[in-house]
Structure 1
Amino acid sequence: MQKNIVSKISKKINRLQKHYFLNYRDLKIQWIHKIEQPVILISQIERSGGTLLSQLFDGHPQVYAHPWEFMWDVPPKHMGMWPNLLNNDETIDFKKVLEFKEKFWITRYVNLGFYQKNLKELKKNPNAPKYPFIYDIHLQERIYNKLIKEEKITNQRQVLNCYLTSFFNAWIDYQNIYTPNKKIVTGFTPRVVMNTENLERFFKDYPDGYLLTSIRHPASWYSSVFKRGYL
């Protein structure tokens, strides 16, 4: 008898939770802030301060500051490439932009519930700074697919706009989303600057964009990459 009562209560709670989340996503999707601003791409050789430079934009009221590396259409071992979403027949593959990025970092931090750049350091020092990262992957997919269907897509820039819109709107505790008068999106990807073809693709997508590169002292850079085992 008691088990039946507990089972009924549990099922009712599950139904209420499902109803709540469905309504929450339906409401959220009505308040989409479209992101079509140009991008400031921060890119340089590894271990040259790009991550720090990108983090200096965090919290700026006129900036959508991406918290991690842009890895559109790029598996982790090939990081440092600007995406090419065109198929051989010149059609655009809308799914490519989602494939590797989610697998490599969004899912990891969603499961943790917080962001911390160096997780190994966190194991050594549990008191190291952590930052909340509450993100709804399913909401992102809904927003992205909705925008792709609604927009008349003719170029890769529009696809990236749809992705950035879905990304920032699905980042639930991104407190800067409703601040007006945004001017720019900032993001970091190492090594793009080292390849002419990558740069050409970036400026084709963002002719109104900017490239920002930091240069580290060679002796300090060599010491850093040597310790990391890059050489």
Structure 2
Amino acid sequence: MKQPLVLISQVQRSGGTLLSQLFDGHSECNVHPHEIYIGNPKWIWPVIDLNMSPGNIFDKLVEKYNFKFYEKGYEKQTCKENTDIKSYVFDLNPEEQKKIFIKRFKNKPPSTQRDVFNIYFYSYFSAWKNDKNKAGNKKIILGFVPRLSCVSESVDKYFRAYPEGKIISVVREPFGWYASSLKHGAKIFKKSKDIRVYYIESLKSVLRNIETYGDKIKAIEFSDVVSRTEQTMRELCGFLGIGFENIVLNPTFNKEKIETNSNFVESIKKGVVKDPLNRKNKLTKKQIVEVEKKLLPLYNKVIKKIRST
């Protein structure tokens, strides 16, 4: 599988899951159906020792969540109040994937990092038996990796492996992001009591990556994904060199409509939901003032940059 890997990447709670689920089912994309976990942690791009055995290399890359999803189905609960969670069949046996990986590896031993990733994603999509999107002329592999775009070393290693790769970063306005992140809990931001530092890190990385990698980076506004879905998806399809298809107008998992990945129970619905645009009212007056002071100026700077490019 030699197609380039396209990443959706920015800080969590910004719309990355939604965007990847919008691309799900596009006939020219092999879309990874959940977050890509080949790094440890996931936002660190892996470096492979080509002298390792194929089995050990696979064990380093294999996505541990696949074992759970294979046994119990794919589900993603972000809202504790939501007890009615649908599970989606995910027929990808990691043990079968490993066999495919090792066989492919031995038939043509890799000589570069990219060769290893080509073999890995070949084994992934080959082992996924109930993938409903196998047909079509695939031009790209696409997946979501939170915060990888924020780690300059990881971005550099990714582009070394995929010089023709591209990164899409979604920028969410700070009030909605902060409200969602507070509701989600600090478990996704383990190293700091002040989760706002991760939002700042993400915004700064957008500016840095545009400056460093130019037209390989596409930054978009979360509000556009939600309120101008068709125009935004047409623009992104053009950026990726794929045709526009109507399936990208609604989020799906394996071409089946899926509910939103929301922390707020009232917003858990199928389709593109506009509720997240009105999260400022979930913050206290004190929190609003803090966001206006610490996050809003940098956000406005990034938005100005996005709209000028």
| Shorter-chain TM band | 0.7 to 0.9
Q: In structure 2, do the counterparts of structure 1 residues 59 and 121 end up closer, same or farther at CA, with 3 Å as the change threshold? A: farther
Q: In structure 2, do the counterparts of structure 1 residues 122 and 102 end up closer, same or farther at CA, with 3 Å as the change threshold? A: farther
Q: CA deviation at 1:152?
A: 3.3
State the one-letter code of the partner of 1:56: L
| Partner in structure 2 of residue 80 of structure 1 | 43
Q: What is the number of equivalent residue pairs in this alignment? A: 186
CA distance in 2, matches of 1:193, 1:130: 30
1:204 aligns with 2:204: no
Q: CA deviation at 1:121?
A: 5.7
For residues 108-131 of structure 1, what are the alpha-carbon distances to aligned partners after superposition, in whole Å with 9 as ceiling and x for unaligned?
01111x211228769711xx4332
1:118 aligns with 2:77: yes
For residues 46-91 of structure 1, what are the alpha-carbon distances to aligned partners after superposition, in whole Å with 9 as ceiling and x for unaligned?
11111111111111111000012221141xxx231111113xxx74
Kept after mapping to 1: 8 A contact 2:79/2:184: no
State the one-letter code of the partner of 1:98: D
1:70 aligns with 2:70: no
Q: CA deviation at 1:176?
A: 1.6
Give ranges in structure 1 of 5+ residues lacking alignment.
1-34
- The DSSP-based 3-state class of the residue aligned with 1:212 is strand
Among all aligned residue pairs of Structure 1 and Structure 2, give the percentage whose two residues are the same amino acid: 35
| Partner in structure 2 of residue 61 of structure 1 | 27
* TM-score normalized by the length of structure 1: 0.74
| Partner in structure 2 of residue 176 of structure 1 | 133
CA distance in 2, matches of 1:205, 1:133: 28
CA distance in 1, matches of 2:177, 2:6: 24
| Partner in structure 1 of residue 59 of structure 2 | 98
Alignment partner of 2:104 out of 147, 150, 153: 147
Q: CA deviation at 1:97?
A: 4.3
CA distance in 2, matches of 1:156, 1:92: 12
Between 41-50 and 90-99, report the one with greater CA deviation. 90-99
CA distance in 2, matches of 1:195, 1:92: 26
* TM-score normalized by the length of structure 2: 0.56
- The DSSP-based 3-state class of the residue aligned with 1:111 is helix
Q: CA deviation at 1:139?
A: 2.0
Q: Give the superposed CA RMSD.
A: 2.1
